[in-house]
Amino acid sequence: MFDLNFWIEEIRVLKVGGNFFYEKGKEIKAEINEKTNKLRKWIKEGQTTGNKFRDFAIARYGLPDNLTEIETIYSDIEKRAQEHSGEFILIATSIDIDKSYCALYLGILNNSALILDPKNGKCGLPVNGYIFCHSSLPEDVKKIFKKNTILPLLPIQNVSDHRIQKMTQKIFIGDNEIKKWSAEQTANYSAFFQKAAQFFGRSPI
């Protein structure tokens, strides 16, 4: 099987060359794009670098300069989720420039690995069900999703700034982390977490 990691290094060398040889910049950039597109295609077809997080990051984002750091985001999410099996996970989704929250998703982690789908560019965490509400009305739980399902994670919003807080979602893993977040909010989320506890048959946070 072709060594994808060797191909990745070839692309990185071309990027360095493009920075030094300005007069050939357009040609080098075209070659980089061609090689990167081939790499993403091969991964989506099932080839691998040997690192599932790298495979997914490349398939979804290409080869940004901070590829290793993007890989770390996903591996860290998986590690933390497995360390807090049976506890709540909260995803607060934001679409506004000021990062105000527009929706909350709360589920129970079930100690499974992060689901990565390079072919379709999707990923998510297996949970024992999750509920949803608009953050402006935390007492009003809008939907209840079936148990043993996937809680989807959205793409990193800006791959040049890889920190999780710059994602379109903020991810809070474990009861203590969520309890701390809730205490810092202006809205009263006690009703939301109370309903969540009843739905999942466990004590409130």
User: In this predicted model, what pLDDT tens digit does every residue of 34-65 receive, in sequence order?
Assistant: 999 999 999 999 999 999 999 999 999 998 88
- pTM, rounded to two decimals: 0.79
Q: Where are the domains of the chain?
A: 4-69, 84-200
Share of the chain above pLDDT 90, in %: 25
The dihedrals phi and psi of 129, each to the nearest 5 degrees, come to 90, 155
CA separation for the pair 176, 190 (Å, rounded): 15
Distance CA 75, CA 160 (A): 18
Is the model more confident about 130 or about 119? 119
As a whole number, the mean pLDDT across the chain is 79
- pLDDT digit string (tens) for 13-39? 887 765 555 556 678 888 888 999 999
DSSP letter assigned to residue 103: E
Tokens of residue 74, six digits? 């996903």
Give 58-93 pLDDT, tens digit per residue: 999 998 888 898 999 999 999 999 999 989 998 887
